[in-house]
Chain A
């Protein structure tokens, strides 16, 4: 069965520290993976997708098929990165993980 797991409900780091939000998936076939972000009082929006291989707001995510992971990373966290982050799998119809709340402290 297709599944997305985000093991951390809350991740708290200090400003300037590296951050890694974990995402593991189960999928038979070639997965299409996304990271969505929800800032306080804003809509859920796409942050990045694995096929683009791009860096958005300093975040990157690499698909590791061997470990079935798509972890989101940023070398130096900023306070404005504080938000709810969701990993998602699929094509059209998406399967979302449980979400990780990132809190960046000054």
Chain B
């Protein structure tokens, strides 16, 4: 069940701490995405990257940061500035966007809980 992996599965954080969520893919996809899933709100885009060393803010980027140093990896850091970080985080990847509709492949998710 490879393709796109996320770790850890569960993560607990104390208030005031930064935490980093891992996302790795071996699908050779150029584009990667981070979403936050909350009950009743669907999936909301945090950040996305279409190419290495470049990324764009999504709809709810405040309090989050990302990097894209390698094609395979797109880690997400939840900073202490994020006011309500407890949520389920999903990473996804796809082939180059902007050339028609492409399927996004999703990871299994990381559930972050702030204590």
Binding site for B on A (CB under 8 A): 4, 6, 9, 32, 34, 43-46, 49, 51, 86, 91-99
Contacts and interface: CB of A to CB of B under 8 A. Distances in A.
Given A32-B101, A51-B101, A96-B44, 6 more contacts: A9-B40, A91-B100, A92-B98, A95-B45, A96-B35, A97-B42
Listed from nearest, the 9 A-B pairs whose CB atoms lie closest are: A92-B97, A96-B43, A32-B101, A44-B106, A98-B42, A96-B42, A46-B103, A99-B42, A43-B106
Interface of B: 31, 33, 35, 40-45, 48, 50, 58, 90, 92, 94, 96-98, 100-109
23 contacts: A4-B42, A32-B101, A34-B101, A43-B107, A43-B108, A43-B109, A44-B90, A44-B106, A46-B103, A49-B103, A86-B42, A86-B43, A92-B31, A92-B50, A92-B97, A93-B45, A93-B48, A93-B58, A94-B43, A96-B42, A96-B44, A99-B40, A99-B42
A86 B58 CA distance: 18
A89 B62 CA distance: 23
B101 A91 contact: yes
Contact of B33 (A6, A93, A99): A93
Contacts of B107: 43
Given A51-B101, A93-B58, A98 B31 contact: no
A30 to B, nearest CB: 11
A93 B96 CA distance: 11
A4 B41 CA distance: 11
Nearest to B90: A44
